């Protein structure tokens, strides 16, 4: 019999054109620090000015912090915190994608906690101090990404130790997230596909790990996977298709955020993260795509029934004579349809010999034991086999 | 294109046997006031002692307030608040059904707000003062009822003015709700059916009002209606069927709470509430059952497509030659299967002439204009027609 655990307290305001509500909605403070990336994209797209104007209408002051990097860094968090203190900012807005939002989250922690951010990191050289409070966080999402809008995680890189670590603490659930798919119609095709597959894997991995235990994980994952299977090829073809953007953003920014708030992904994500750590030019979504087909062929034997259910969500009927093939077929169809099955490790500068190191790091360094719920753990040899079979 | 609005911040701990976690989970205070009904049911069932023992293991003190009435009253809220202040209670536990939980909610408001509860009521003789804060609320549910475990509402009766009013304010979302279906296996058959149909109507009415706008309302309602259609006849037949209790409690205590947190019910609920106000011996669920078939026949013309979708959720295939019949058939089947189609107003002491007064009060006193989203409002004559056709 199933159970339900749910704690997803972020207020979600999702829909086309809803950024406008920033002018009238109740906000969690009187002076915001807004985080944007250093490439000036939010300014070029006119979104930054629009947000500042809307905040002004809402009688909220704002300071822009515009040094956020693609892999958000500890030193900028500490710098932003100092500026926020001096300026008297009392809440933080991540504007853009995961890096802006995660920098806002980490800064909100440091505004109310003494010392250095790394004192609170819970792995590697981190000080493992507990985070009980953080200043209010708000997000305004312009990508169809990670789910950080609705989850209690942020990932920050320590530029001194080269560690890239997760912070997972309920205090950094955003208070409110505005998700307006209209802001996503100009996302480039490649990013759309990388993020779309990342979303698919978030949902499918959580569904696999869940084993039908937490009922809400199942219904969120199912609605999201159906959306990705139907709409990812549409927005890959035509990024301006607003209906497709609505469905994809709902799946990625809301449902995948929820499932990840409630349960772990699988070792598929750990292999991808490890590859991305060793080869920073491999985008997160790309790293997942590169090994997906072989990964799921390998673990299929552990979860045939669940794979057939995932297949049904993707429009593939289960075949009693070939149990577990459903998800493999659905995945391969989607990779083929979007051209992503041709993605090759070699084109990212990865040599076949590197598979050994990625496999070793995945199992012995990043670690997968706490993630998977298969009847047996993947070994270094398993992961190496997956990587080598994927290699082209 | 759809939107999503979501704000359902209650931490939900749902599953068989999970009451035990009360001994170890993080609680929102150090000294609880526990609300139970004056009939001593929680004590007789041994649940009250179990809860006190578990709290003790968790190093939390507790005071029991045991005067809660079926229609929770203002005067007991004010009395409980005084005791809580004197005893130094810092959070409130509603143990049992809606009346205990709603009394806990109202008392949590008064602990942190000056004056009388009715100063904060937002209708009738209420003072319409704003409620911004409330002390932490926790619920431990033993019925399969209203959804108050996961919603921001409570209903309190003012014994001096005979007003029964809703308080709807985000501060009274419970912090944490333990929902353990094992505590529900001894619920009597009639209560099970009344609450089961109440749950069905919460979900179906929200689905109707939503018009596919807020996507989460649709997926919550769909999963809940499927559960009720399948499992209500099972638990009506065999109350000890734990699997059935799990599904019904999930539908009522979680999903119906969520849909009601996100959108209104229809005038079906207003007719039922008005009847229950005039004839307090008619239980809430019964009042809804008494008019359901004729109500939905009347409004079917406004929402044929949606009725066919509701029918599909209940296992009735849509018929293109008879659009909108799906939900009517599904509902009538369920009423027949559970014996509830024979429920008669006359057996509750309602005379046919009373239909005039109920109809008039529904439209002109309780009011339905803010609820329904049909293309035209139901008139007094419409409601009277529904009531008279329902009468037996």
What pLDDT, in 10s, does the model give residues A225-275?
999 999 999 999 999 999 999 999 999 999 999 999 999 999 999 999 899
pLDDT digits (tens, 9 = 90+) for A86-134: 999 999 999 999 999 999 999 999 999 999 999 999 888 999 999 999 9
Looking at A214-303, list the stretches that DSSP marks H as alpha helix, in order from N- to C-terminal side. Answer: 215-237, 242-249, 256-262, 267-278, 284-299
**The domain defined by B188-390 carries CATH number 1.10.1370.30:** no
pLDDT digits (tens, 9 = 90+) for B173-183: 999 999 999 99
How much is the pLDDT for B235?
Answer: 97
Helix (H, G, I), strand (E, B) or coil at A104: helix
How many CB contacts within 8 angstroms connect chain A with chain B?
Answer: 68
Q: Is A5 on the interface with B (CB under 8 A)?
A: yes
Q: How much is the average pLDDT of A10-28?
A: 98
Residues of chain B with pLDDT under 50: none
CA of A151 vs chain B CAs: smallest distance (Å): 13
Q: Is B223 on the interface with A (CB under 8 A)?
A: yes
Q: Contact A4/B219, CB-based, under 8 Å? A: no
CA of A295 vs chain B CAs: smallest distance (Å): 31
How much is the pLDDT for B365?
Answer: 84
Mutate to test the interface with B, among A6, A9, A222 (most CBs of B within 10 A): A6
Q: Contact B12/A18, CB-based, under 8 Å? A: no
Tell me the C-alpha distance between A192 and A205, whole Å.
20
Tell me the C-alpha distance between A252 and B257, whole Å.
25
Write down the mean pLDDT value for chain B.
96
Write down the mean pLDDT value for chain A.
96
- Higher per-residue confidence, B109 vs A163: B109
B15 CB neighbours in chain A (<8 A) are 1-4
Residue A214 β-bridge partners: A3
How much is the pLDDT for B262?
Answer: 97
How much is the pLDDT for B166?
Answer: 87
Q: Say yes or no to pLDDT of A4 above 80.
A: yes
A185 CB neighbours in chain B (<8 A) are none
Q: Is B16 on the interface with A (CB under 8 A)?
A: yes
Q: Contact A15/B8, CB-based, under 8 Å? A: no
H/E stretch holding B279 reads: none
B302 and B374 in contact (C-beta within 8 Å)? yes
Q: Contact A4/B250, CB-based, under 8 Å? A: yes
Q: What does B322-339 look like in DSSP terms, one character per residue?
A: STTHHHHHHHHHHHHHTT
Sheet of strand B91-96, all strands in order from the earlier edge strand to the far edge: A4-6, B11-14, B176-179, B137-141, B91-96, B31-37, B61-68
Tell me the C-alpha distance between B278 and A281, whole Å.
71
Residue B155 β-bridge partners: B166
CB atoms under 10 Å from CB of A339, counted, come to: 12
CA of B244 vs chain A CAs: smallest distance (Å): 10
Measured between CB atoms, which of B4, B7, B11 is closest to A15? B4
In chain B, which residue's Cα lies nearest the Cα of A223?
A: B219
Same fold for the pair B18-179 and B188-390: no
Structure tokens at B43: 């004590």
Helix (H, G, I), strand (E, B) or coil at A93: strand
**The domain defined by B18-179 carries CATH number 3.40.50.300:** no
Domains of chain B, residue spans: 18-179, 188-390
How much is the pLDDT for A100?
Answer: 97
Tell me the C-alpha distance between B199 and B252, whole Å.
5
CA of A117 vs chain B CAs: smallest distance (Å): 25
- The architecture of the domain spanning A11-183 is 3-Layer(aba) Sandwich (3.40)
| A186-390 topology per CATH | Dehydroquinate synthase-like, alpha domain (1.20.1090)
């Amino acid at each position: 019999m199933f159970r339900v655990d749910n704690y997803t307290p972020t207020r979600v305001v999702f829909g086309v054109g809803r950024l406008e509500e920033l002018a009238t909605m109740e906000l969690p403070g009187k002076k915001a620090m807004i985080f944007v990336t250093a490439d000036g994209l939010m300014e070029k797209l006119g979104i930054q000015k629009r947000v500042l104007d809307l905040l002004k209408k809402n009688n909220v002051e704002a300071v822009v912090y515009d040094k956020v990097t693609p892999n958000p860094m500890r030193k900028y968090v500490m710098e932003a915190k100092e500026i926020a203190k001096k300026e008297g900012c009392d809440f933080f807005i991540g504007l853009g994608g995961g890096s802006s939002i995660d920098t806002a989250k980490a800064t909100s922690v440091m505004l109310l906690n003494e010392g250095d951010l790394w004192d609170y990191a819970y792995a590697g050289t981190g000080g493992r101090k507990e985070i009980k409070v953080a200043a209010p966080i708000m997000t305004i999402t312009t990508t169809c990404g990670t789910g950080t809008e609705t989850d209690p995680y942020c990932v920050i890189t320590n530029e001194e130790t080269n560690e890239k670590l997760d912070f997972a603490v309920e205090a950094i659930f955003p208070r409110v997230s505005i998700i307006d798919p209209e802001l996503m119609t100009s996302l480039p095709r490649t990013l759309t596909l990388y993020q779309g597959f990342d979303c698919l894997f978030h949902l499918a991995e959580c569904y696999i790990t869940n084993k039908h235990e937490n009922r809400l994980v199942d219904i969120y994952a199912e609605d999201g996977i159906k959306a990705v299977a139907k709409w990812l090829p549409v927005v890959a073809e035509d990024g301006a298709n607003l209906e497709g953007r609505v469905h994809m953003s709902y799946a990625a920014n809301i449902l995948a955020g929820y499932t990840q708030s409630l349960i772990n992904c699988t070792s598929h994500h750990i292999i991808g993260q490890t590859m991305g750590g060793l080869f920073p030019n491999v985008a997160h979504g790309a790293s997942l795509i590169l090994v997906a087909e072989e990964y799921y062929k390998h673990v299929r034997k552990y979860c045939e029934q669940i794979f057939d259910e995932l297949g049904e969500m993707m429009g593939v009927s289960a075949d009693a004579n070939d149990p577990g093939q459903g998800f493999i077929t659905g995945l391969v169809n989607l990779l083929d349809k979007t051209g992503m099955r041709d993605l090759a490790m070699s084109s990212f500068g990865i040599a076949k010999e590197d598979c050994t190191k990625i496999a070793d790091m995945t199992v012995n360094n990043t670690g997968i034991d706490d993630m998977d719920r298969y009847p047996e753990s993947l070994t270094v040899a398993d992961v190496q086999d997956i990587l080598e079979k994927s290699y082209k």
